[in-house]
Amino acid sequence: MADRYLRFTGTAPGRFLTRRLGLPQPAALTRWSPERPALDGGLLHLTAGRSALGPAPVLARTGIGPAGSGRAAAVVLDATGVRDVEALAEVHAALHPVVRSVAPSGRVVVLGAPLDPADHHQAAAQQALEGFTRSLGKEIGRGRTVNLVRLTDAGAAESTLRFLLSPKSAYVSGQVIEVGAPQETAPPDADRPLTGRTALVTGAARGIGEAVAETLARDGARVVVLDVPQAGQDARRVAERLGGTALLLDMTSADAGARIAEALPDGLDLLIHNAGITRDRRLVNMPSERWISVLEVNLASVLRTTDALLKDGTLKRGGRIVATASIAGLAGNAGQTNYGASKAGVVGLVRSLAPRALEEHGVTVNAVAPGFIETKMTAAVPLFIREAGRRMNSLAQGGLPVDVAETTAWLAHPASGAVNGQVVRVCGQSLLGA
């Protein structure tokens, strides 16, 4: 369903009226397209304190050139050397003069360092960057985003910076992303980085899953579109359009992992857990079958199939697991105790499995946590609840399925091996729980 309010605020009368009434003023977001693959404008690189990274040539490979005399499309502030409260003044001094001049739909990325457990002054100063970043994201407006990347090696952050400094991250703001040691090298074809890789996307016959499958195929992956037999016609349609294959099975079946392995004798590189259901009702009115069905589809099946595909080696070394959590699992949502529990469980899975999967299998494990995304499901939500969902984030609008898909594609990228155990919220920086 079209966001008529967003369209209205883009007109002269809409801008005048919303300003006078103090109403939200969402800006149309710049998203990736073949015609517009990069942000319009240059990159401004600033430093607060003495950088812990040294020269950062990786910024030259983000696809954005240096900012000239015009508005910057993006600002990167290197605050890795901020180690005490006094140095935080340099964060203010660096960004205060330029933040207003960042172009609409522009990007601000703060580079921070991991918290030092042996230096509580450094840890306090670096943790302060998180509060700073989230607060700036909530006030900067005009479709701009602000994110914090904690890292020790600039080279390991190339795919992350490319994503955050591009139109592909339009609905990702207020996030803190930790980047570890380099694990992979950049693919030979930057435009189709997933060439030669096989991706399995569950629940891919429609909605967000279809968008994920489409985006991975755009990036070169051979896509296997998995969905329940009842969605067979749609699954085959999507697979045919993307040059992939359809795999029809119920993920809750005990032998789902074995059947996936049988269907993929050459193995699997990308396992995308997207399938999910809702059976909303307040706990006092929720029968056990509603509870059980949601936990079984959204969590138990994810655990079982992941275990099976790792154990039998179907998921290859260098592979990626990306699971779909939800803002409801992080902040809670009335009427969704079952759904919230299942999606919080996905977060627990990611945080526990990620270090072991990387060490034992060479596979990274991450999650995306969507907020209000414009789908057929959210279009059926009552008007006032739908409008509240759209406006209660820093960008004052709902996201699109492609926003979740682009975030998934970044986590699936061959050069994203240093990103592990992360839960990235694709919610426009929800004002609650984010």
Active-site residues, by number, are 339
> How far is Cα 173 from Cα 190, in angstroms, rounded to an integer?
24
Name residue 129's amino acid: L
Beta-carbon contacts of residue 389 (< 8 Å; ≥ 6 apart): 371, 372, 378, 381, 398
Question: Phi, psi (5° rounding) for residue 222?
Answer: -85, 120
Name residue 374's amino acid: E
Burial class (CB in 10 A: 0-12, 13-18, 19+), 385: exposed
C-alpha dihedral, 388 to 390 to 396 to 397, nearest 10°: -160
Cβ contact 155:58 at 8 Å: yes
Name residue 137's amino acid: G
Q: What is the DSSP string of 238-255?
A: HHHHHT-EEEE--TTSTT
Question: Phi, psi (5° rounding) for residue 342?
Answer: -65, -40
Q: How many residues does the chain have?
A: 434
Between helices 301-311 and 337-361, what is the axis angle to 10°? 10
How many angstroms separate the most distant Cα atoms in the chain? 63
Q: Which spans in 249-368 are helix H?
A: 256-263, 288-295, 301-311, 327-331, 337-361
Cβ contact 167:192 at 8 Å: no
Which residue pairs from 243-249 have beta carbons closer than 8 angstroms and sit at least 24 positions apart in sequence? 243/217, 244/213, 244/217, 247/200
What is the C-alpha end-to-end distance of the chain, expressed in Å? 25
Task: Indicate the DSSP class of residue 300.
Answer: I
Q: Which two tokens stand for residue 43?
A: 């990159």
Cβ contact 114:80 at 8 Å: no
* Secondary structure of residue 278 in the 3-state scheme: coil
Count of beta carbons in the 10 Å neighbourhood of residue 99: 17
